[in-house]
């Protein structure tokens, strides 16, 4: 029979690699908690109309990339292609926005039917952050400064660049759209096919084209900055001043437009030149009109999302992944004879209780002593803890170093626990990184 394989563009994350994901997620969660952000958990399936109304029917996401289908009741539902719309829906549905401010984050898979390539998949993981009820540029600055702290924690700060732009108010955006269409119309036949379609539906997205001739044309297009309303201009200048005060370097990129219709005023991208075409690792901006657009009261809002696959690719590309992530087991506990199995189980329970954070794997499956020691070495553990007849009689444990010369010593319970605590503490602060 033909083997069943994963759906194209929806990769498995295998043991040996999953530790990297946990490392990234824990770093992000710790920083978000330290800044006062609370987690919200959202369904992966939403009514299709939510994304048509929020993301925009003319966007590539809604027009070409969504996984939508009719459920057994005949309702059209969609695997979420992004998280902001669902977060707004949840906050409005549960009354979290009326006379309140919110700082929220979520994590999980998103789904878009795109052409799979390195750093771009059909199922991909994101961490999203959303803030509601804040009008000024201070919250925009907070999000960016917080993200800069995450890059430092991950060791990738020197490999990313912050790019900023402002899309102004919806009214200013409409004026600019007309000016851009008028300017582009004489060049219509020179644009690529997708850009010709976008000229009538979503002309700002033409800035995202990768086609060389289209990019040449867009390089001379009128700038949004020349059409900003006064309030948006003051907001953008305020954001830049706050980032300068916080010593967060940035560049103003007037060509950033983002691919979703709901953005207004601030938009930003954290980009890198280390990943080829997939250079955006985190992006976001303001969407002050989205809550009202989905039926709620007018509520200022801003947020961002980062792609975990791309952040991990970047960390790997520049050598920022901690070496200790390659080791998923600290110690391997084995008995030389099955007669010691009850004592081994009791010792495993004792050590896990006495040494928080200890990653202990116990031997199962029997076998000769040589085979058991070989299994210990293959586990990747730093130490093997061995119980034989002599150790049981003396109330001790043999401790064999598996990665540093193979020395073996015998320790009583107190000395063993202190040794394991030192091992865990060294892993935590990187002392045992190879």
For residues 79-96, average pLDDT: 96
Average pLDDT taken over every residue of the chain:
92
Q: Give the model's confidence band at 306: pLDDT under 50 very low, under 70 low, under 90 confident, else very high.
A: very high
Spell out the residues 6+ positions from residue 302 whose beta carbon is closer than 8 angstroms to its own: 130, 131, 134, 139, 140, 143, 266, 284, 285, 286, 287
pLDDT at residue 393, as a whole number: 94
Where residue 431 falls among pLDDT bands split at 50, 70, 90?
very low
Q: Indicate the pLDDT class of residue 198, thresholds 50, 70 and 90.
A: confident
What pLDDT does residue 223 have? 83
Residues 6+ apart with CB under 8 A from 299: 97, 132, 133, 288, 291, 292
pLDDT of residue 298: 94
Looking at the chain, the whole-number percentage of residues with pLDDT higher than 90 is 74
Across residues 365-390, what is the average pLDDT?
Answer: 94
Domains and CATH numbers, the chain: 18-169+229-317 (3.30.930.10), 328-429 (3.40.50.800)
Q: Is the pLDDT of residue 385 over 60?
A: yes
Least trusted range by pLDDT, from 64-78, 200-214, 284-298: 200-214
Mean pLDDT of 400-420: 92
Task: Work out whether strand 264-271 and strand 161-166 pair parallel, antiparallel, or are unpaired.
Answer: antiparallel
Please report the pLDDT score of residue 260 as a whole number. 65
pLDDT of residue 403: 83
- What is the average per-residue pLDDT within 220-241? 91
Nearest to 130 by CA among 261, 347, 303: 303
Rounded mean pLDDT of 338-363?
95
| pLDDT score for 93 | 96
H/E run at residue 300? none
């Amino acid at each position: 029979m033909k083997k069943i394989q994963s759906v194209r563009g929806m990769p498995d994350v295998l043991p040996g690699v999953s530790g990297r994901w946990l490392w990234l997620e824990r770093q992000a969660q710790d920083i978000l908690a330290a800044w006062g952000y609370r987690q919200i958990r959202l369904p992966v399936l939403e009514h299709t109309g939510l994304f048509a109304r929020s993301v925009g029917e003319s966007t590539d996401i809604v027009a070409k990339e969504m996984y939508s289908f009719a459920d057994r009741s005949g309702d059209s539902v969609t695997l979420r292609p992004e998280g902001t719309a669902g977060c707004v829906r949840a906050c409005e549905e549960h009354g979290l926005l009326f006379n309140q401010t919110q700082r929220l984050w979520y994590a999980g898979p998103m789904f878009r039917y795109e052409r799979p390539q390195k750093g771009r998949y059909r199922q991909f993981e994101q961490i999203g952050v959303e803030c509601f009820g804040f009008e000024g540029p201070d919250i925009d600055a907070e999000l960016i400064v917080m993200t800069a702290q995450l890059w430092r924690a991950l060791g990738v700060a020197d490999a990313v660049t912050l790019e900023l732009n402002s899309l102004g108010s919806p009214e200013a955006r409409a004026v600019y759209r007309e000016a851009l269409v008028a300017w582009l119309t004489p060049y219509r036949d020179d644009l690529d096919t997708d850009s010709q379609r976008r000229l009538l539906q979503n002309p700002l997205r033409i800035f995202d084209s990768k086609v060389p001739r289209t990019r040449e044309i867009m390089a001379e297009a009128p700038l949004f900055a020349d059409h900003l309303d006064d309030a948006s201009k003051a907001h953008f200048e305020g954001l830049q001043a706050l980032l300068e005060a916080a010593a967060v370097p940035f560049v103003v990129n007037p060509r950033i437009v983002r691919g979703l219709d709901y953005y207004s005023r601030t938009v930003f991208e954290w980009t890198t030149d280390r990943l080829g075409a997939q250079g955006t690792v985190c992006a976001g901006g303001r969407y002050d009109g989205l809550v009202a657009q989905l039926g709620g009261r007018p509520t200022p809002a801003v947020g961002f999302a980062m792609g975990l696959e791309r952040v991990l690719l970047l960390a790997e590309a520049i050598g920022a992944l901690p070496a200790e992530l390659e080791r998923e087991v600290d110690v391997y506990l084995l008995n030389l004879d099955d007669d010691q199995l009850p004592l081994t189980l009791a010792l495993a329970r004792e050590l896990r209780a006495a040494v928080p954070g200890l990653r202990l794997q116990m031997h199962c499956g029997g076998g000769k002593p040589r085979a058991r020691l070989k299994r210990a070495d293959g586990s990747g553990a730093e130490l093997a803890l061995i119980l034989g007849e002599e150790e049981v009689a003396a109330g001790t444990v043999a401790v064999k170093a598996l990665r540093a010369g193979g020395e073996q010593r015998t320790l009583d319970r107190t000395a063993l626990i202190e040794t394991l605590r030192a091992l865990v503490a060294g892993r935590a602060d990187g002392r045992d990184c190879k």
